Structure 1
């Protein structure tokens, strides 16, 4: 990182490592400065390749490895609990898809050695956690995104064309009952949407830090999923809508006791 950043710009960058996206109006209030000042800060961070500006805010640049490495150190106990709980819903003989993500990466760690399943993934970090021989592992090809350890693009889409799943386990960067579940990268979203169409059951794995956050690209609506795994009960306003739509809500706290 260049040394020309001022203290506020450093703080914005460090905040992005945790929050994954920021809004200009929120930052202006937080630092008690004008929105134009924040826009100049984000422009400078973007010039240095640290962030990518979005409509009304910014996200971490996909060109830096810190996006993945830092995220996997956040909310570890919560993600372990979610991965463990989700693994209990997988049955012998299932064909499943697990997408790339720091939350979904905990699921394969808790799969029973006795389970004979077929697991398809676009995540290099997913397949590296499975070692027993009675599980068929299929790693899709495609364009490798270092920031998410995932494979995406037309090749990945074509590999998915004739694959169908009993259950899909997907991650998202943001979730709200109004906007559905979202992500900042269109290539990642295309894979998730393709998998959803070819799955009998769609499970969303998100920790509570993703609640009430919306990103540029929509993956799907709440009615597109069957089950949500999270470690904390969402706000009452969200919980009511989730239950009204018949989506099962699984609160995962095995590692939080």
Structure 2
């Protein structure tokens, strides 16, 4: 089998089964495990999969720039945002992460809601400028342009002084094995810090993020309180999430 054929088959297995074990796959094809691991390294270098111990997982497709992501699945993200907005109770302190789905959440907050929203995302803050009753606290720091959020030591210091009731976290991958992941080490650390400072963490995930993984773990799946995703997904996609102990909300 040619290298290109092996790589195509690897990607097919990942699409169909959601994971690949290098040892088993090498035995199936009758080639060395080192050969398969080299294929996985090269595919990972092209951003086509995420390597993990012993094999590979599908790479998250949610890695485009912010402007591009705004154009993808906007109606689905609006539904997720509407459902998440209904979870916020009057008087709560809520931390909104950056990301296009959380922008939809901010847009759908009820006009009569009285709450405090803390965010390190200028995009979220701008969305809430005209809200009559939501008080907005904006965390500063170095701007991470991919997600349009503040990161770094200044952000971490401010976040460490906050206690939030809810944290609506953005992520590029949500997988039963690798947990909640994203593509930048510093952003992952900031997200993990916000979660530690919050009583409950809620993740909003469109279909392409489920079962996918990115290089940097934010937290294991067991540390999430609620996962909000779209209704009608295949049961095999959701089974492992249902059995993990988190609350699964389908909208």
The answer to whether the superposition gives a TM-score over 0.5 is yes
Deviations 1:65-121 (A, max 9, x none): x61111111111110000000000101000000100111111011111111111001
Quote the residue 2:97 is aligned against. Answer: 99
Quote the residue 2:127 is aligned against. Answer: 129
Quote the residue 2:211 is aligned against. Answer: 212
Q: Please, which of 20, 26, 37 is the counterpart of residue 11 of structure 2?
A: 26
Counterpart secondary structure, 1:107: helix
Deviations 1:177-203 (A, max 9, x none): 121111011111111100111111110
Deviation of 1:239 (Å):
3.3
Counterpart secondary structure, 2:164: coil
* Distance in 2 (alpha carbons) for counterparts of 1:24 and 1:95: 48
Does residue 199 of the first structure (1) align with residue 184 of the second (2)? no
Name the count of aligned residue pairs.
Answer: 218
Quote the residue 2:148 is aligned against. Answer: 149
Deviations 1:112-170 (A, max 9, x none): 11111110011111111111242110111111122211111111000111100001100
* Distance in 1 (alpha carbons) for counterparts of 2:178 and 2:149: 25
Give the alignment's TM-score, normalised by structure 1: 0.73
Point out where structure 2 has 5 or more consecutive residues left out of the alignment: 1-7, 16-35
Quote the residue 1:67 is aligned against. Answer: 65
Root mean square deviation, CA, Å: 3.4
Query: Cα distance 1:250–1:243, how it changes in 2: closer, same or farther (>3 A)?
Result: same
Quote the residue 2:19 is aligned against. Answer: none
Point out where structure 1 has 5 or more consecutive residues left out of the alignment: 1-22, 46-50, 253-257
Does residue 188 of the first structure (1) align with residue 166 of the second (2)? no
Quote the residue 2:5 is aligned against. Answer: none
Deviations 1:30-57 (A, max 9, x none): 9xxxx999988998x9xxxxx8x98689
Deviation of 1:243 (Å):
3.2
Q: How does 1:1-257 map to 2 (within 5 A)?
A: 25-26=10-11, 67-130=65-128, 131-237=130-236, 239-252=238-251
Answer yes or no: is the 8 Å Cα contact 1:97–1:120 preserved in 2.
Answer: yes
Give the alignment's TM-score, normalised by structure 2: 0.75
Answer yes or no: is the 8 Å Cα contact 1:98–1:119 preserved in 2.
Answer: yes
Answer yes or no: is the 8 Å Cα contact 1:183–1:217 preserved in 2.
Answer: yes
Counterpart secondary structure, 1:103: helix
Answer yes or no: is the 8 Å Cα contact 2:60–2:214 preserved in 1.
Answer: no
